[in-house]
Every structure is written in structure tokens, then in C-alpha cells.
Amino acid sequence: MKKILILAFLFSCLNVIAQKETRPFDFRFGIGKSLLGSGDYIVTVLENEVNYKLNHYFTTSVSVNFARNHEGEISTTSFIQGNLNLFFSPFRNSRKNDFRLGSGFTVYQVTDAARVAAYYENGVIVDTVHEIDSRNSIGYNIIIEDSYNLTGQFFVGLKLFTQSYHNYDINTGGLLKIGYHF
């Protein structure tokens, strides 16, 4: 009887351990740099991303990026971007280290502003003329990302990406990311 109770206790413990599911959602925050255009602007990028694990090999994500470059009083560039991606983890995404390759769709709106003329009186600027250009486009992403779990819930990672748009813009860069499984 004692052996049966011990076996029942062990099997119930194993059942609880087996039922412990990895958390399917995670939130990632990233900060980094990218080359917007054909390397025309170096912008600082902030990314907010939510991921959902489909299984041990595939993950989907939705992200929103904000970026800005400011070159003194002469010009500034900023964009807002939305991404929808699918990732493949060839070594499984259920381990301490998650290396993954991804691709997906992206849409963005870029606004460029530049001072094109300045009028002076006695060496002091009295008036300026600015030109503002705004454009939208859709494109696709190619992503290489690696993340490492620090604890059961927190992780850090590095993301390298390139994005090609239908208006011939290119955005290429890297982000340092922190995340939380929930």
C-alpha cells in the first residue's frame, strides 16, 4: 500500500510538471539604430512587440516601431511603422536560448522636414523656410534574432533586420531587446 501511495504521488507530481506549459505570449521592448533610405539617415528606433508561440518551432509577432533622427536645426526625419511577422526557430523556441529567423509584412509612414532657406538681418535669423515630405509604403521584413532567458520570465536579445519597401526605400538595422513572458 505504501508503494502504491508513493507511486501515485510521483505520478501526480510528474503530471503537474508535464502540464506546466511554457507561456505562449511575450512582450519585447527594443532600442537600436537603423539606416533609413539607402543609408541617408541614421535613426534611433524604439520597438514594442508582442509574440505568440504557435508551437516549439513557429512564433508570430506584431510590432510597432517609432524612429527619429534630428540633425541640428537643419533637418529631421521620423517614422512610425507596423510589422506582422512569422518566425522559425530551427533549434526550438522552448529552451534557454531562442535563435530564430523571420519574415513578414511591414507598413510605414515617414516624414522628412528640412530647412531650405534662412533669412538674416544683422547676422540673426529672422525667417526660415522649411520643406516637409511625407510618404507611406508597404514592404517585407527579413529578420535574424537571438534571445536568451535570464530567468523563467525575463530575457534579453539582439535583433538584426532589413526591410525593403515598394517605394524603393530600405531600412536596415539592429536592436537590443528585453522581454517578459506572460
Q: Is 76 left (phi over 0), alpha (psi -120 to 50) or beta?
A: beta
Whole-number Cα distances in Å, 18 to 22, 85, 167: 10, 30, 50
What's the grid cell of residue 172?
536596415
Average pLDDT over residues 13-38: 75
Which residue ranges make up each domain of the chain? 23-181
Q: Is 125 helix (H, G, I), strand (E, B) or coil?
A: strand
Q: Read off the pLDDT band of 9 (50, 70, 90).
A: low
Q: What is the pLDDT of residue 16?
A: 43
Average pLDDT over residues 37-45: 83
Residue 21 and residue 104: Cα distance in Å, rounded?
27
Q: What is the pLDDT of residue 22?
A: 66
Q: Positive or negative, the Cα torsion across 38, 44, 46, 51?
A: positive
Q: Read off the pLDDT band of 111 (50, 70, 90).
A: very high
Q: What is the pLDDT of residue 17?
A: 42
Q: What is the pLDDT of residue 10?
A: 59
Query: Has residue 38 got a pLDDT over 70?
Result: no
CATH class, 23-181 region: mainly beta
pLDDT mean across residues, the chain:
89
C-alpha 166: how far from its chain's center? 20
Predicted confidence (pLDDT) per residue in 135-179, tens digit: 999 999 999 999 999 998 999 999 999 999 999 999 999 999 999
With 0-12 / 13-18 / 19 or more C-beta atoms within 10 angstroms meaning exposed / middle / buried, residue 161 is buried
Average pLDDT over residues 65-93: 92
Q: Read off the pLDDT band of 71 (50, 70, 90).
A: confident
